[in-house]
Amino acid sequence: MGLILGIETSCDETSVALVEDGRRVLSNVIHTQVEVHREFGGVVPELAARDHLVRLPSLIDLAFEKAGAKPAEVDLLAVTRGPGLVGCLLVGAGVGEGLAAAWAKPLTGVNHLWGHIYAAMLSRQDLEPPLLGLVVSGAHSDLVRMPEHGRFEVIGRTRDDAAGEAFDKAARMLGLGFPGGPALDRLARQGDARRQPLPKPSLEGLEYSFSGLKTALLYRLRDLGGSMTDQDRADLAASFERSVVESLLEKLDKALAAEPCSEVVVAGGVAANTLLRRRAAEVVADRARLTMPPLELCTDNAAMIAAAGFYGARHPADVDPSLGWS
């Protein structure tokens, strides 16, 4: 039982949420820094950290106002401890520590990757482990088994780029702005992947690799040169997206076949991708129940951090930018 205040500042979204009993979102305010970083074509860590610090106080007030709750009612504070940008994590952890001391409340540090999985539990009230999860974000493409709350076993990861990183880099090559993933998603809707086939990365086992695909796109763009039309660009976006999505799902399919599991979760920023959402449902089909959080819970947010804090509260709040799933 309890009211959890979640704080997320690991990258370029500042978010504060109030969640009841790890499942019910009372408020989840998210401020995205897209405008701060756009002119640089990517996230600038120092600017991101400073913006978190500027925004957090008013976002905290807003989260309480929207939830109709007061600090005295909070039972636990949960802040993202890692992985993430160290300066950004420090801001969230520092503010969390300050509030916990001032309000005399306990504080826990939350693994951001756990958070992405717990986002699925906010959207499906009866979802419980054991589950098979695919977490695809800007920095991770991890296949995990979750046997029980607070326990994760990584069974597959990427050797090089994460899926989100691959989308962002491909978007840059295609001349799309920042943030790249959503822009590539939109452009791909106007393209036909069959007109510009690209290889589908395929490694042994459950490992991913997207660097070869990125190079293939680079060569194709070089070959097309000045003759490239807008339709070519859309077709290439669709083809790149198809290769990434099919590669992600091929391993998910393999893992599910090797060890059946009745619950599958696909989460993280890339889980907002239109094709991934459609194809994941087709690939999992009736072998398991698939949960993909709604778009606003796929990308970074504090409600998922509060939920993970509720179920897995056992870490200190110290920041650890390189944290894996531990």
Which position among 180, 293, 309, 312 is part of the footprint of ligand KG4 (CB under 6 A)?
A: 180
- The Cα 11–Cα 302 span in angstroms is 12
Question: Can residue 133 be called a binding residue for ligand KG4 (CB under 6 A)?
Answer: no
- The Cα 150–Cα 75 span in angstroms is 19
Which position among 245, 272, 302, 308 is part of the footprint of ligand KG4 (CB under 6 A)?
A: 272
Residue 299: CB minimum distance to ligand KG4, A: 4
- The Cα 206–Cα 143 span in angstroms is 8
- The Cα 153–Cα 146 span in angstroms is 6
Name the residue nearer to ligand KG4 (CB basis): 159 or 186. 186
Phi, psi of 215 (to 5 degrees): -65, -40
Which position among 137, 141, 239, 243 is part of the footprint of Zn ion (CB under 5 A)?
A: 137
Question: Can residue 300 be called a binding residue for Zn ion (CB under 5 A)?
Answer: yes
Residue 22: CB minimum distance to Zn ion, A: 19
Long-range contact list for 221-224, CB < 8 A, 24+ apart? 221/173, 221/174
Q: Are 14 and 55 in contact, with CB atoms under 8 Å apart? A: yes
Which residues within the stretch 280-299 sit at the binding site for ligand KG4 (CB under 6 A)?
A: 299
- The Cα 25–Cα 306 span in angstroms is 9
3-state helix, strand, coil in the chain (%, to 5): 50, 20, 30
Q: Out of ligand KG4, Zn ion, none, which partner does residue 180 contact, by CB within 5 to 8 A per kind?
A: ligand KG4
Question: Can residue 141 be called a binding residue for Zn ion (CB under 5 A)?
Answer: no
Question: Can residue 15 be called a binding residue for ligand KG4 (CB under 6 A)?
Answer: no
Name the residue nearer to Zn ion (CB basis): 115 or 201. 115
The reply to whether omega before 83 is within 30° of 0 (cis) is: yes
Residue 145: CB minimum distance to Zn ion, A: 20
Instruction: Mark residues 92-131: x for contact with Zn ion by CB under 5 A, - for none.
Output: ----------------------------------------
Applying CB under 6 A, the span of 16-24, 192-200, 266-274, 280-288 interacting with ligand KG4 comes to 266-274
Angle of helix 211-224 relative to helix 163-173, nearest 10 degrees? 10
Question: Can residue 11 be called a binding residue for ligand KG4 (CB under 6 A)?
Answer: yes
**H or E stretch covering 118:** helix 112-123
Which residues contact Zn ion (rule: CB under 5 A)?
Answer: 137, 300
Which residues contact ligand KG4 (rule: CB under 6 A)?
Answer: 11, 137-139, 164, 167-168, 179-182, 185, 268-270, 272-273, 299-300
